Amino acid sequence: MFLKALEMQGFKSFPDKTVLEFGKGITSVVGPNGSGKSNISDAVRWVLGEQSTKNLRGSKMEDVIFSGTNVRKAQGFAEVTLRLDNADRSLQNDKDEVSVTRRYYRSGESEYLLNGETCRLKDVNELFMDTGLGRDGYSMVSQGRVADMVSSKSNQRREMLEEAAGISHYRYRRNDANRKLAQAEENMIRLRDILTELEGRVGPLKVQSEKAQKFLVLAEERKELEIGLWLHTIDKVRDQLKQHEDKLTVATAQYEAVEAELEKIVEEMEAAMALSQADTVKIDEMRRNASGLEEQAAQLDAKIAVELNSIEHNNATIERITREMEAAVESKQDLDDEITETMQTVDLLKKAEKQKREMLETASAKIEEIRNESRSFAEQIAEQSDKIAKLALQIGDKRVAISTAKSSAEEITLRLETIDEVASSRSEAIAHLNQELTEAMDQLKAVEQTVTELTNAVKGYELKVQSRGEKADKQRRELDEFGLEIDRKRSRAKMLDDLEKNMEGYSGSVKAVMREVKRGTMRGIKGVLSQLISVEEEYSVAIETALGAALQNIVTENENDAKRAINYLKDNRLGRATFLPVSAIRGRKLEEKGLEDCYGFISVADELVGSDSGLREIISSLLGKTIVVDDMD
């Protein structure tokens, strides 16, 4: 295996596509400083999967793309292809020539190609493993790396020797296998938790299964009973329908009879009304005649009264004449003629009175006859009115009967329609119940199959429960041990809390200042730095190491508060202490670029410390230029 060619386009100082052919033997690249010699080795390192921009002599990955000049614009991507001769099959590939390509865009997208096909960085690393050509291989030694290789630690030299011996591939596989085993162990733990949870569900599921079977049996019986009930209801409704049809026929016949009778009554009523109208006309005529006769009778009564008055006047005259005759007896002779004349007048008057009386009697008889006729006509009118009222009542009764018959007919029709609808709905319900019965039978079969599976699972779980019992006993013992450990930890935590309260481990001067603060005689003291910050447990050792003795520094509001505390320590000869005035200290930041791309880099130390916003400058001044990494390597 040997390097055949290197193709570069847009990579650093190679904007155009450049192909370098390498033959067998040694190839040297000679040129002045800045001509791009090192960029060739960087291209080889980069195409093999180098991720550190520091090793590529840049601050960010975008720096590998040609950035342009005064006469040429910048490129949008960088591409490098490495072609190797694989005739001896040193690489795990069946082709005689193997090409590896890496392409990077300014948008941050990156891709790898193996023999023109897209692949992963992991595939490239595995391809060159144990060949010395990997990104960490010993075949490429960049500037300043010889001294590092000579002075490297034992672990680094071991990796180099393993790479040369061709066993790094197995170490990589071992690490990968260990990682997969750890993942498998985690999956097993999760499966055990799931199994434990399912084991607790087996009993309730069995009870639920029995209840489900019982429910299905009862549900089937209920459906059969419901179907029988619906069939009975339908038969009953059919009988009622037949009865209502018979009633409807009878009511129709009654309605027709009542209708014919009503027509007859209407005809009779119309005839009676005609007779009544004729009688009314006669009665009106008789009333008019009676009124005329009454007027004549009234005139005759007036004449009779006049004649009676005349008779009474004549009687009075006769009496007067009689008295005069008695008075004039003596003058009889003179008065004989007058008496005779008067007697003749009286006779005439008596005859006239007699005639008047006869006329009066005749008129009275006629009046009485008219009154009798009027009474008979009134009785006839009353009789005809009674007949009319009776006929009207009969008509009302017949109309009520007709209305009742119509209502009964309409009600029967509505009932028939309702019965038809109920019958159709019952048919649909029966079909639906039959469908539900079929579905229930299918569900019953599925449930029976599920019950069988659950029964088999329960048997398997019972076997596992026995083994789990032993594990549970072991876990109980471990739990007891953990309980004892927790008690020891609690005792230690309590002891540490007491030490914290008593400020054990702090210098005498710090203790003296904090005592005065608690007494209230010294103001402007925020506290000891170690008590004012918080750090996650995994970074606590790193932060404690970085701060060192600064953990006992005392934080104050301003310089005057710090001076008062210093004078107090001097006056009482209590020793020295370091004070950090919030108003006077300014933070500092690390300006180094590309740290995020370095392997093992975690963060700048001040970003891992939590505190109040007023202490950020102090923390930045102490930790702003300190970097936290995974390990010393």
**Distance linking the first and last C-alpha atoms of the chain:** 32
For the range 249-252, what are the long-range contacts, defined as Cβ-Cβ under 8 Å and sequence gap of 24 or more? 251/405, 251/408, 251/409, 251/412, 252/409
DSSP assigned state of 502: T
- Amino acid 190 reads R
100, β-bridge pairs: 82, 114
Of 61, 152, 243, the residue nearest 632 (C-alpha): 152
Of 420, 411, 416, 397, the residue nearest 251 (C-alpha): 411
Tokens of residue 110, six digits:
């990156």
The pLDDT score that the predictor gives to residue 399 is 67
Distance between CA atoms of residues 314 and 343, nearest Å: 11
- Per-residue confidence band for 462, with pLDDT thresholds at 50, 70 and 90: low
Distance between CA atoms of residues 322 and 343, nearest Å: 11
98, β-bridge pairs: 84
Distance between CA atoms of residues 349 and 356, nearest Å: 10
The pLDDT score that the predictor gives to residue 112 is 92
Q: Which domains are seen in the chain, by residue range?
A: 2-166 (3.40.50.300), 503-629 (1.20.1060.20)
- Per-residue confidence band for 113, with pLDDT thresholds at 50, 70 and 90: very high
CB-based contact 587:619 (threshold 8 Å)? yes
From the number of C-beta atoms within 10 Å of its C-beta (0-12, 13-18, 19+), residue 172 rates as: middle
- pLDDT > 70 fraction of the chain, expressed in percent and rounded: 68
CB-based contact 482:490 (threshold 8 Å)? no
The pLDDT score that the predictor gives to residue 430 is 61
The pLDDT score that the predictor gives to residue 8 is 93
Q: Is the pLDDT of residue 308 over 80?
A: no
Model pTM above 0.75 = no
Tokens of residue 235, six digits:
């038969």
CB-based contact 542:567 (threshold 8 Å)? no
Torsion angle (degrees, nearest 10) of CA 178, 184, 188, 191 = 160
Tokens of residue 257, six digits:
């009879």
pLDDT tens for residues 90-103? Answer: 787 888 889 999 99
Of 534, 579, 576, the residue nearest 553 (C-alpha): 579
User: What phi and psi, each to the nearest 5 degrees, are found at residue 312?
Assistant: -60, -40
pLDDT tens for residues 352-382? Answer: 667 766 766 776 676 667 666 656 665 766 6
The pLDDT score that the predictor gives to residue 156 is 62
Distant-in-sequence, close-in-space partners of 543: CB < 8 Å, separation ≥ 6? 535, 605, 608, 609, 623, 628
For residue 298, the SS3 value is helix
DSSP assigned state of 583: T
User: Between 571 and 174, where is the model more confident?
Assistant: 571
User: What is the mean predicted confidence (pLDDT) over 306-333?
Assistant: 66
The pLDDT score that the predictor gives to residue 496 is 57
- Per-residue confidence band for 580, with pLDDT thresholds at 50, 70 and 90: confident
Distance between CA atoms of residues 248 and 275, nearest Å: 40
The pLDDT score that the predictor gives to residue 151 is 62
User: What is the mean predicted confidence (pLDDT) over 179-200?
Assistant: 85
- Amino acid 189 reads I
CB-based contact 50:599 (threshold 8 Å)? no
Q: Is the pLDDT of residue 111 over 90?
A: yes
Of 127, 138, 135, the residue nearest 163 (C-alpha): 138
Per DSSP bridges, beta strands 579-581 and 554-556 are parallel
User: Considering all CA atoms of the chain, what is the largest pairwise distance in Å, rounded to the nearest integer?
Assistant: 222
Distance between CA atoms of residues 398 and 409, nearest Å: 16
Q: Is 505 left (phi over 0), alpha (psi -120 to 50) or beta?
A: left
Query: Which CA distances in Å does 334 have to 47, 323, 325, 340, 607?
Result: 198, 15, 11, 11, 182
Query: Which CA distances in Å does 510 have to 504, 531, 569, 615, 616?
Result: 11, 12, 9, 19, 22
Q: Is the pLDDT of residue 571 over 80?
A: yes
For residue 45, the SS3 value is helix
